[in-house]
Structure formats: structure tokens, C-alpha cells
Structure 1
Amino acid sequence: MSSCSDEAIPGHPIVLGCGQLCLDYLVTVPYFPIPDQKIRGTSFKVQGGGNTGNALTCVARLGLDSRILAKVADDSQGRWMLEELESSGVDTSFCVTAKGGASHFNYVIVDNQTNTRTCIFTPGYPPLLPDDLTESLILSVLDGVRVLYANGRSREAELLLAQKAHSKNISILINAEKRREGLNELLDLADYAVCSTNFPQDWTEAKTAPSALLSMLIRLPKLKFVIMTLGEHGCMMLERCTIEVPESEEETDIDELHESLKQTTDFTSVLPVCNSSVVTRLAGNVTGRLVIVTAEKIPSSELIDTTGAGDAFTGALLYGLCTDMASEEMLTFASRVAACCCRGLGARTTLPFRNDPNLAAFLGA
């Protein structure tokens, strides 16, 4: 693993994440056990987890200032999680510590036979609530922030913070994994959204994935782009564009655009490739372009664990937004970072540092 670079990013952009922290107990097994069976694990690791903590660890390793607003219990697990984040360069000074309660934890079973992972989440208490966010805390934690990241797990507190961020013209990226109470209000404030494979169609009830992405841009006029992650198949992005197209240009069917784009995408490439459509007029008075990005093909001998790959992808997106990467570069960069994560056990073990040779093409390391 490469050591962390001390080189500062010009302008010192800050990423703020608000959400839950948890402790992951990870065990690898030769195959997934059947009920009432005893099985011997092949490796074991205890590591901090949670979408927000994982993504911010990625951001910090890539060289940006990152800070987290979360709540942990005053127990050994809570203290351990904060210390681990601090050791990775994440500012935890704004976190809230409950005098009682218990911290979140997660059992993760990694099946070496199928390269899958099964998560058993045990929620802790008490949750992060709006009453925990004093006016002075909110003003301090938002100071100097370029992008706010949230995912709706601490919905009321996240919404309050997002509303304040919106009033200060701070960009907001929402990670939408599944329908959650209060997530709609967060999406209304979002500048960017990164979604799980199933979320766009679940949320919009559209018949196809491309039409679901378009429906999201129509329903969320503030949204600049929406990304749908596809695991080993890469990702797809629909980006809203301000480029004017001739009024005489007919609307392009989003599904037909997707099919034509797939036909010209090199899905055989080992490294991620990006293929973009031209800017075109779409339904709902949206002008935009569709982008397909393939995933890196990881040899089976190197593929260890996919836990946290989506969080690594999101962390790289946050980096790209803060450093004004072009969309195509940002997406291929994020795919490479996610692939690095899959080469070790747990969400943070092999998250790359800024000077990782695998990222040299993007960061000049």
C-alpha cells in the first residue's frame, strides 16, 4: 500500500459528510454456510464502516480535507471508529458522542466461492437528531465546505444540514440506495445524485433504467447529473447540459439513445472506458447527454471483497467534483478507485492514496 502524500490540493476544498458510522466485523469463508452448519473462516478483520465514513476516508486518502458529522455512543466501538477515521485524515471534531447507548455494527460474510458479501446490520442508538445540531455547530461544520454528502440514514438531521448548505450555495451530493423516509426532501435539494442499480426505477416507476434517469432529471430540476451504479458492469450517467440545441431538433428517445451508445462501447476493455452521446434534446424539456462507463475487469485471483466499492466510487466522485474534473475523466477515475477497493478485505483496506500508481493517469502521481 502506498503512503499518503503530503502534497496539498490547491484551494484546499473541503468535503463534508453527514451520516452513520458503524463497525464492520468481516470474515471470509470458502463458501456460504448452510443453516445449522459450522464452518471455518479463512480470514478476519475488524474495520470501521458505514457509507459516509468509507467515502470520506477515500476522499482524505486522495488528498482533500474531509470532515464528518455523525453520532456515536461513548463505548469502545465508537471511540475506535473515530480514532480510525482520524488516523486516515478525516476530521471528526464535529461528531456528537452520546453518553449512553451503543454504536452501530455490521457482520460481513465474504464468500470466496462466489465473490459475494452478505451484511447483517445491527443498528445502534441513540440516532443523530436535529436537536444535536446547534446553530453554532452547523455554521462551523459548513465553513469552507465545497460539497456536502448525505444518504438519508439520519434523515431529519441531514435535511436540516442540507437546507443550511443549500442556503449557502454549497453543492450537495445525495447517495440514494433505496427508498427511505425523508429521502425525497433531500433529493429536492441535490445538485448531484448517485444511485444503486434498482433505485431509479423503484423511485420513478419507469419501465427502463435510461427512462428512469430521465424521469429523475425531470422531477428534480436542480439536479445536474444522476448516476446509476451497475457493479461489475460499470455505471451509467445522464447529465443535464446548458448547451443550446436548435429548436428544430426533434426529441431523442432515451432508450434508443442508450441502445445506440451500447453498440459503440468497448465492453471488452480491461480498464474502464467512457462513451458519451452528443448533447441532445430529450423528453420533459431536458437537454442532456448519456454516458456509459465500463468497470475494470479484475482478475479472479485479485478480487477479494466488493464491500465498500460503491463508497469508494462515491468518494472519488466527491474528489472529482471538488477538483473540477471533466465528467468523463471523473467517472473513469471513480471506476478505477472502486476497483482498487475490491482488492482487499473490507471497505478501507486497499483504498488508494493520491500517489498510487494506478491513479497516475488522472492525478499525475
Structure 2
Amino acid sequence: MSSCSDEAIPGQPIVLGCGQLCLDYLVTVASFPIPDQKIRGTSFKVQGGGNTGNALTCVARLGLPCRILAKVADDSHGRYMVEELESSGVDTSFCMSAKDGASHFNYVIVDNQTNTRTCIYTPGYPPLLPDDLTESLLLDVLDGVRVLYVNGRSREAELLLAQKAHSKNIPILINAEKKRTGLDELIDLADYAICSTNFPQEWTGAPSSPSALLSMLIRLPKLKFVIMTLGEHGCVMLERCSSEVSGSEEETDIDELHESLKQSTDFTSVLPVCNSSLVTRLTGNVTGRLVIVTAEKIPSSELIDTTGAGDAFTGALLYGITLH
């Protein structure tokens, strides 16, 4: 497949992602080793990784034009990752190559016994910095963009890019995996948020996951929805709604709403189930709906590993937001 920049049709919405690229060394083992043990791997492969690259690869394979803004070292790892993205259809014309430095890489241990993956990350250098983003580059990279994806790993550069996108009314999706220095300024600009299971409570200090999701909508008035991923159990979404409700309607307790929705959700279904509450008043200035989505139950015999699964979910979400 040629790059998206070659295939893009004028006027087509473009997805832009900004973040780190990382090379993954994946070794599969029958079971995770115990300390000081020597074991034999059952398979080995090398492939590009990193949240942004993985998510954009998904977007490209779903058929949308997309581009990435990132910096790699001018080494074999960096060249390999850029070439792999191009082969998947991602426009890499805004990838910067640093003459001196080393690209990020991961050792990934895939455990066949538990179908899990363990990542050992080795950061590279130099990072993508605000000084790399000239005014002309910002205008060019945002040209034709329908949605911007950030995750805070190159927070200062991403913040500058997000501020420019915000000024041009380009929606922003943030992937908040964990609390990072400077993430608050970035998440303030987000229109959509996808979070790891623990992030909402860690970030808000709320006593429960549902109340943490509500707290995020209260603290972030620009946020249209927040999704909390739950791995093999699916995800929970709290969406802000503009639908009118009666001014006299009592507020609905978010924890009680979540429990009621769980009780009416079929978690035994092999295929995914989407169960949504009615639009309701959740607090004085927030009206919304809570949604529980289960994940497809994949037989263990068909499950290879979960590397990149969350990024593929993000890519599909970007696809939906772009075409909405």
C-alpha cells in the first residue's frame, strides 16, 4: 500500500497523530519465566510500536487518510519504523529524523499461558520539542485535519500542537494512560478522552470509577465524552448530552446508575453488547448518559497476544469520531 498522502482525496478528513514511535522486540514464551530461569522462546519478531503509530496504522487500514508528527533517530530502528508506517498507509512526511541519538525500543514478552504481554521500555533521544514546531510546520501539518490524537508522551510539543488545533476548532482526542507531568494542560484542551482503568480515579481522587468519570466531565467542560477501558471486560463511557431534561428532574446518582446498568447488561454474550442508560441529569450542570460495552469473547486457542489491542481500539475510535 502506498502512503496516505499519495492516496488522499482533496477534502477527505485527515487524522493527525503526535507522539513517540517505538520499535518492539516481541518474544513469545510458553509461560513467563521465574527469576534466574533460562527458557526457550517459541517465536520472535520485530515490529514498529508505540501508541500513536499503532493507532494510526489501524486508522489507515480502515481506509482513512492519516499522518503522524514524530521524531526518530537516524538509525536503523528509526528508518525501519518509518518505512513500516508508510507501507501501512500512514503519511510520514512530517516525521523528523535526528542525526544524533537513538530510537525508543521495547522488549515485549508474550506469555502463551496467560495471554498477556509484559513490556520493558528503553527510552531514546532526542525528544520532540516545541522548538521543532515552527509556525509554518504547524499550519502545514494541521491542514485538512479533522481530528488530532495526543497521549502526552511528548507533552510540551503536543501541548503547542493542541493549542494550535484548538484555535482552529479541530477536535482533540487524548489517550490518558497514567498521570504525567504537564498532562493537565493537555487534557484541558481535549474534546474526547480515552483512559486506562485506573486513570479516572487517580486523576480525580473520586471514590469510585463512575463518580470519577462524572468528575472528569465536571472539571473539563469541553469534554464531550470519556471512555474507561476495562481490557477483556470491554469499556464504560460517560457522554455529555445537550438533550433537554425537565428542570425539576432530580439528579441521578452515578454509582446507582452504573450498578443498575450492570445488572441489565448481558455479560455472558460471546458477541459485544452495548447497553446505554437514558439521558439523565447527573449533577447540576451535567446531563448525560452512561454506556457499558462488553468485549467479544475470543477463545484462548485463537488469541495470539494483546500487544497493541488498546491502540487498535483507539484507532477505531478515531475512525468513528472522524466520520461522525
If the length of structure 1 is used for normalisation, what is the TM-score? 0.86
Residue correspondences, number: 320
Deviation at 1:284, TM superposition (A): 4.4
In the alignment, the residues of structure 2 paired with residue 163 and residue 267 of structure 1 have an alpha-carbon distance, to the nearest angstrom, of: 41
Q: Which residue of 1 aligns with 2:79?
A: 79
Q: Percent identity?
A: 88
Which whole-Å deviations, capped at 9, do the CAs of 1:137-162 have from their partners, x for residues lacking one? Answer: 11000000000000000000000000
CA contact (8 A) 1:24 1:47 kept: yes
The answer on whether the counterparts of 1:200 and 1:212 sit within 8 Å (CA) in structure 2 is yes
Q: Which residue pairs with 2:311 in the alignment? A: 311
Report the residue type matching 1:264 in the other structure.
S
Partner of residue 249, structure 2:
249
What amino acid maps onto 2:243 in structure 1? I
1:267 matched to 2:249? The reply is no
Decide whether the 8 Å contact of 2:179 with 2:203 is kept in 1: yes
- Say which SS state the counterpart of residue 173 (structure 1) adopts: strand
Partner of residue 175, structure 2: 175
AA paired with 2:321? L
Q: 1:119 maps to what in 2?
A: 119
| TM-superposed deviation, 1:35 | 1.4
Q: Is 1:290 aligned to residue 294 of structure 2?
A: no
1:179-194 to 2 correspondences below 5 Å: 179-194=179-194
Deviations 1:34-70 (A, max 9, x none): 1111100001110000000000000000000010000
CA-based RMSD: 1.5
Between the aligned partners of 2:283 and 2:202, the Cα distance in structure 1 is: 20
Amino acid across the alignment from 1:20: Q
Aligned partners of 1:108, 1:172: CA distance in 2, in Å?
30
Question: Residues 233 and 123 of structure 1: is their aligned pair in 2 closer, same or farther, counting only changes over 3 Å?
Answer: same
Q: Secondary structure at the match of 1:175?
A: strand
Letter in 2 for 1:53: G
Aligned counterparts, 1:6-155, within 5 A: 11-155=11-155
Give the aligned partner of residue 232 of structure 1. Answer: 232
* Inter-partner Cα distance in structure 1 for 2:11 and 2:219: 34
Contact 1:19 1:152 in 2 (8 A): yes
Output aligned runs, 1:213-224, within 5 Å: 213-224=213-224
Verify the 8 A CA contact 1:250 1:281 in the aligned structure 2. yes
Task: Give the letter for the 2:21 counterpart.
Answer: L
Say if 1:8 and 1:63, in contact at 8 Å, map to a contact too.
Answer: no
- 3-state SS of the aligned residue for 1:70? strand
| Mapped partners of 1:230, 1:9: distance in 2 | 36
Consecutive aligned runs of 4 or more in structure 1 exceeding 2 Å deviation: 6-11
CA 1:209/1:10 → structure 2, altered by over 3 Å: closer, same or farther? farther
Q: Distance in 2 between matches of 1:310 and 1:9?
A: 29
Aligned to 2:321: 321
Contact 1:9 1:63 in 2 (8 A): no
Query: Which AA in structure 2 matches 1:278?
Result: L
Paired residues of 2:148 and 2:170 also in contact (CA < 8 A): yes
The whole-number CA distance in structure 2 between the counterparts of 1:279 and 1:140 is 40
- Aligned partner of 1:87: which letter? S
Question: Normalized against structure 2, the TM-score is what?
Answer: 0.97
- 1:29–1:41 CA contact under 8 A, matched in 2: yes
